[in-house]
Structure 1
Amino acid sequence: MISPPFVSALAYIILFGRRGLITHGWLGLSVNPYGWHGIVILQVLGSISFATLMVLNSLGSIDLRHLLAAQDLGARPGAILRTVVLPLLRPTLLSVFFLLFTMNIADFGTPIVIGGNFKVLATEAYLQVISTPHLGKAAAISVLMLPSAIVAFYFYQKSFSRTDLTSVGVTSLKNDDYRFPLPRPLSIFLGSLVGLYFFIMLLKYGNIFLSTVANTSTGKIVLTDQYFKDLPLTFFKSFRASIALSALAGLIAPLLGILLSYYVHRRRLNYLKPVEFIASLPFIIPGTFYGLGYVAAFSHQPLMLRGTWLILGANMVFRQISVSNKAANSFFVTLDHRLEHAASDLGASKFRILGNVILPLTRPIFFTSFISVFTSSMTSMGAIAFIVSPGMNLASMELFGSVENGRYGVASVQAVMMIAVIALVNVIVLAIKNRKRVT
């Protein structure tokens, strides 16, 4: 999840392309990796980690008493899995499906790199903006993606609201050492799938790291340091800009999301509900649609801001407010009102209650949201692709240019640099968060 865009496509081409290290170098084959099958494979692999985190959270929140009751009634593990666990996970699984549908329908990076002659709407919208002056045609194509995305998000919300059969209390699975034994054949089958997935991940990232110091285009491994020398000087400027803007977005977006949730759901300021809905729109609508809106609004006077720090930073912030807002909404549902009442009885103003009571309690949400926003901003493509300029570019777009031009070794170096920075920031922020929790 901390990988920059196109890493999977890059590894897929290097390993299994016409001159791939495995297909050509080891097997002597010339396989065409491009087409709809490549898109499906890469989007599935790219979605697994995100889906796993969502399912793990719901799985850990299942009330342990449901499983113990089924066991007391004599149910076997397979029957418990089929009649208790999976029905409880059904809303989450539907939520994951609809959310990933929304994310993948707006993905133009993977199809444009690995799709070949197979076209999707997101790719067509991007190409209309980049290669032709037909902004209206690109907008029309993006509008075609909007209804399906909204419908998917509606079912996502509906499914998510039906997760009340789980528990976050002391009887939830994540707070217990209970171990659920799977039937042996199923355990072997699922274990094999997990092992295969980890093998693919090791193969992918091992290949990316190897490709920074080796030329594999001939099907053989030839060590070289040429790719580091070939790094364009513009990448370092774009890399610094990405780090700075992503960190800024990571500080601002979580704070705005938490404040919006507090005033809407804690202070009950109903006139701010439309603001909360508007803040969630960038999370609902496809990135191409969102990016075209920026192009239309900020490419002309008096708001000629396209390709500036201001508009890129604003895009990252407003695109991610919904993440912390939704997390804060869940937090405020469980927060005891008596804390605020006690502070008010002691003479604290609403502003002091916010600063001294609410914000310190939401610190874990802030740190978690910072990680999410920083990572998403560093790896963002969608709307960003439409508002960068030659003088103000970002690392993800530089990486896209290298992959698109077939400079796979340079792209590998750029990808590894981005992964290293994102991982380092994640580790530092998690360490700060855990230290604060201990103290």
Structure 2
Amino acid sequence: MNISNLKERVSKKLDTQFYNILDKILIVLIFISVLIFILWPIMSVIKESFFKNGSFTLDLYKNIFMDNRKIIKNSLFISIVCTIITTILSTCISIYISFSNKKVKKVILIILMLTMISPPFVSSLSYITLFGRRGLITHKLLNLTLNTYGWQGIVIMESLSFIPLSTLIMIGIINGIDTRVIDASLDLGASISETIIKIVIPLMKPAIVVCALLVFVRSLSDFGTPMIIGGSFTVLATEVYTNVISNGNFKVAAVMSVLILIPALVAFIFYRIYMKDTNVFSKEKGQLFKEGSRYKLKGSMKFIFSFVTYLFVIIMLLQYTAIFIQAITKFKYGKIYLTLDNIKSMAEYSMGSFGRSIIYSLIVAVVGSFLGVIISYFVDRRKIIGMKYIDFIATLPYIVPGTFFGIGYILAFNKYPLELTGTSFIVIVNCIFKQLPMTTKMGSAVLTQVDQEIEQASKDLGASNIVVIKDIILPMLKPAFISGFINNFTATMTTIGSIIFLIYPGEKVATVEMFNSIQSGEYGVGAAMATFIIIITLTINILFSKRLLGGKNVFQS
């Protein structure tokens, strides 16, 4: 053996050892990061709510129930009503879309997707613009001065904001139904209406149950809508916000957050039970979505479903038109004037927040997407010992209310050895791990389509685990990475619930500035901010969707 061959063998052995060490370091870092940035904050809130002066106690819970009965009743009332309204309307809209022609599908889906990339409180802001004391419809058109604040406004606006996601989830379930089941029902003499009532809706039960539970939890944890249009009507989520921001009472806020968490855990359990595959679903997902137009809705069902759908579409168009009008107009002396003052005011004191939002969103999009696909690979393919527990913990942020997660970060990272409060890092990390569940699920979904033999062949040729990840897994998981990138960017750009407690005055992001401007009555400035956030988010969505679809716009698919 000559010296050059010996050097080459030594070099390869060193490279292999280096890659093996790097692989182990990556696994350890994932374990540690998930435990520190997800489990620890959650446990910190629970601990804060049960311990006082180092001793276990239930006194705080007893006091909360005794002193806040009305608030708890208000929260449950709003959540139940929103759940009923949203579930019924989403069911009608999802069925109508699924059984419509391609053009109708396309238009309505674009509107649904637009609402998914909008910042929070857009519904509340448009509600004030259209139906407030000086609203364009109530005051300007109908010459009425009404007090439209209270529980009615909360229910309407929350329901409208929850409908798009619920509808998309239900469409996903409907699209998995095997069309042969529908054809069999029609061949046996049932009408399309009877088939939908007796076949389609019962098969939608998993989605209906999950959507109802998710809406209930989201309504229970929503603090922004009640604060903006609730008036004197208070709920648990607003009390959590007030206790942290105004009173600095983290113990009370922790107890209330745990109370909100309990139904979220129930929702998660039902999700795991009901979202199991059954033999009535086709392996060719999207089959009904492609063929739905050949099943024509008729009679009263068509009238009801189409009425609900187009009423929702009109309201959404009216909502976003109102936001745009509010951004470029001012109301003076009983008349509306076109102006750029709102945009100028926004530029004067909040352009820095837009820059921070974009930078934070890009970092979260890249790091969060990479972390998500790697975890999905370790769980589904490498099957590393203990990684399933990490995957379960990584799923928790999906069901934990945003305010709960934000308070957890304050309690967990306000002292040595990880004193992170007041830094940009804590905001970025919070957003990364809050959105992690969605990215891991995207990675798992794409992995099912990747042939495992390719990975095995590369290992047989001597490739190390890190080389397999770098050269095989990451390129093949590109669709999951890009989808995760889009989702993480959008979520970070439009989020507020989990980060509102972590943002310091000099380091605000665009959504927090928007929330503050609406709270202070500067609705025009808030509308201008909302418009810019939508434009930025929509641009990123379109650009990266084109890459995901090989140059084809997502809205053309």
The TM-score normalised by the length of structure 1 is 0.94
Aligned pair partner of 2:223 in 108, 114, 119 = 108
The one-letter amino acid of 1:364's match is P
Q: Cα distance, 1:436 vs. partner?
A: 6.7
* 1:379-410 CA distance string (max 9 Å, x none): 11111010000121111000000000000111
- Following superposition, the deviation at residue 208 of structure 1 comes to 0.9
**Alignment partner, residue 144 of structure 2:** 29
Q: Is the CA contact (8 Å cut-off) linking 1:63 and 1:171 kept in structure 2? A: no
Decide whether the 8 Å contact of 1:14 with 1:217 is kept in 2.
no
Q: Deviations over 1:42-91 (max 9, x none)?
A: 11111111112111222222111111222222221112111211121111
Give the Cα–Cα distance (whole angstroms) in 1 for the partners of residues 457 and 552 of structure 2. 23
Q: Distance in 2 between matches of 1:96 and 1:367?
A: 26
Which structure: larger Rg?
Answer: 2
- Residues in 2 aligned to 1:111 and 1:170: alpha-carbon distance in whole angstroms: 39
Name stretches of at least 5 consecutive residues in structure 2 with no aligned partner: 1-115
Match of 2:261 among 143, 146, 153: 146
Alignment of 1:21-420 (within 5 A): 21-162=136-277, 165-169=280-284, 172-174=287-289, 176=291, 179-216=294-331, 220-231=335-346, 233-420=348-535
Amino acid at match of 2:392: F
Change (3 A) 1:217 1:110: farther
Report the alpha carbon displacement of residue 270 of structure 1 after superposing the two structures with TM: 2.9
How far apart are the structure 1 equivalents of 2:483 and 2:285?
23
Identify if the C-alpha distance between structure 1 residues 234 and 168 changes in structure 2 by more than 3 Å, giving closer, same or farther.
Answer: farther
Alpha carbon RMSD of aligned pairs, Å? Answer: 2.0
What is the rounded CA distance, in whole Å, between the counterparts of 1:147 and 1:156 in structure 2? Answer: 14
CA distance in 2, matches of 1:31, 1:416: 27
Bigger mean CA offset, 347-356 vs 418-427: 347-356
- Structure 1 residues 255, 408: closer, same or farther in 2, change over 3 A? same
**Distance in structure 1 (CA, Å) of the matches to 2:202 and 2:322:** 40
Report % sequence identity: 39
The one of 537, 541, 544 equivalent to 1:426 is 541
Cα shift at 1:171: 8.6
Q: CA deviation at 1:437?
A: 8.5
User: Deviation digits for residues 164-196 of structure 1, max 9, x if unmatched?
Assistant: 531232893245476211123211221121111
Q: How many residue pairs end up in the alignment?
A: 438
The separation in 2 between residues aligned to 1:215 and 1:92, in whole angstroms, is 43
Paired with 2:298 and 2:233, the residues of 1 have a C-alpha distance of 42
Seen in structure 2, the aligned counterparts of structure 1 residues 18 and 282 have a Cα distance that, compared at 3 Å, is: same
CA positional deviation for 1:100: 2.3
The structural deviation recorded for 1:217 is 6.6
Deviation, structure 1 residue 301: 4.1
Deviation digits for residues 71-119 of structure 1, max 9, x if unmatched?
2222211121112111211111211122222222211111111111111
Question: Cα gap change, 1:173/1:129 in structure 2, threshold over 3 Å: closer, same or farther?
Answer: same
2:231 and 2:403 mapped to 1: Cα distance?
A: 20
The reply on whether 1:14 has 2:125 as its aligned counterpart is no
| Counterpart code for 1:63 | D
**Cα distance in 1 between the residues matched to 2:162 and 2:213:** 12
TM-aligned CA distance change 1:27 to 1:219, over 3 Å: farther
Residues 349 and 176 (structure 1), Cα distance of their counterparts in 2 relative to 1, 3 Å cut = farther
Using the TM superposition, give the Cα deviation of residue 237 of structure 1 relative to its aligned residue in structure 2, in angstroms. Answer: 0.8
Cα deviation for residue 12 of structure 1 reads: 0.3
Judging changes above 3 Å, is the alpha-carbon distance between structure 1 residues 49 and 348 closer, same or farther for their aligned structure 2 residues?
A: same
2:118 maps to 1:3: yes
Which SS does the other structure have where 1:384 is aligned?
Answer: coil
- Which range is displaced more, 31-40 or 421-430? 31-40
TM-score by length of 2: 0.75
Write the distance in 2 (CA, Å) between the matches of 1:175 and 1:201: 25
Deviates more, 1:294-303 or 1:82-91: 294-303
In structure 2, distance between residues paired with 1:243 and 1:428: 15
Residues of 2 paired with 1:11 and 1:163: CA distance?
42
User: Does the 8 A contact of 1:324 with 1:365 survive in 2?
Assistant: yes
- What is the CA distance between 1:300 and its match in structure 2? 3.1
The answer to whether the 8 A contact 1:14-1:216 is kept is: no
Q: Given that residues 427 and 499 in structure 2 are in contact (C-alpha distance below 8 angstroms), is that contact kept between their aligned partners in structure 1?
A: yes
